[in-house]
């Protein structure tokens, strides 16, 4: 959890305070052709948007987070549990946190069930309480881990999936030819900021 919370999610540095850009920010839109798709032969036009708060052109899949007040590369979501955006550079740590939480709940359920078996329900009220709490918690954590596993396989972000961003596309422009490749791309380690290329 700490690693997910302290790792930079991929904040994009802010642009300069140019008066021309500030006065005409609605005109700053641009189209970019990215090479993507399952067979790598399709060019998919993607619109590059101008962020009037950060004064930059946002790369594809980047979103401005109103809570962090910054644009984030491949922003997945803003997580209240780690009080940080989950993006390109800390997504793997977020998934590791969620999986570890799931394993911890399974462990507590097993230990609580063993305690109830040994002491009985009347003497093991604390174990009963732990068992009930972790059973409820593991249901929600399983949904979280299952949902994120699904979007990793599809090489999507939560933001793209919930807003149906890719609905009009025949193919996912960022999808690869295999599930393993999609997994490698979504959960890859990144250690330094890579400036987007336009």
DSSP H or E run through 36: strand 29-36
Nearest C-alpha neighbor of 173 from the set 35, 1, 79? 35
Question: Is residue 191 one of the residues assigned to a domain?
Answer: no
pLDDT at residue 147 in the model: 92
* CB half-sphere exposure, 118, CA atoms < 13 A: 7
Q: What is the DSSP letter of 12?
A: P
Element (H, E) at 90: none
- What's the total number of domains in the chain? 1
- Give residue 173's pLDDT: 64
Per DSSP, helices labelled H in 47-124 are 91-119
58 lies in some domain: yes
pLDDT at 41 over 50: no
- Residue 11's SS3 state is strand
Q: At 23, is the pLDDT very low, low, confident or very high (cuts 50, 70, 90)?
A: low
Whether residue 193 is contained in a domain is answered as no
Domain that holds residue 105: 2-186
Which pLDDT value is given to residue 109?
Answer: 86
Residues marked as catalytic? 79
User: Does a structural domain hold residue 192?
Assistant: no
Residue 114 has pLDDT above 70, yes or no: yes
Q: Look at 193 and 111; give whichever has higher pLDDT.
A: 111
Return the higher-pLDDT residue of 102 and 17.
102
Look at the alpha carbons of 68, 69, 73, 76 in this order and tell me if their dihedral is positive or negative: positive
Does the pLDDT of residue 29 top 60, yes or no? no
pLDDT at 103 over 90: yes
Tokens 């067979």 correspond to 39
């Amino acid at each position: 959890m700490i690693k997910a919370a302290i790792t930079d999610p991929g904040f994009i540095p802010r642009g300069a305070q140019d008066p021309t850009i500030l006065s005409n920010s609605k005109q700053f839109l641009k189209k970019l052709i990215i090479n993507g798709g399952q067979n790598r032969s399709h060019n998919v036009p993607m619109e590059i948007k101008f962020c009037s708060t950060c004064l930059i052109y946002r790369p594809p899949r980047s979103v401005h987070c109103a809570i962090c007040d910054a644009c984030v590369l491949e922003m997945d979501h803003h997580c209240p549990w780690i009080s940080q955006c989950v993006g390109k550079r800390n997504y793997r740590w977020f998934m590791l946190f969620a999986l570890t939480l799931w394993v911890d709940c399974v462990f507590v359920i097993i230990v609580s069930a063993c305690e109830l078996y040994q002491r009985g329900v009347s003497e093991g009220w604390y174990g009963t309480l732990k068992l009930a709490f972790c059973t409820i918690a593991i249901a929600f954590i399983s949904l979280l881990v299952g949902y994120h596993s699904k979007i990793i396989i599809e090489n999507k972000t939560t933001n793209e999936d919930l807003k149906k961003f890719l609905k009009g596309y025949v193919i996912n422009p960022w999808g690869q030819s295999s599930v393993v490749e999609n997994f490698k791309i979504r959960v890859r380690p990144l250690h330094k900021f890579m400036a987007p290329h336009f």
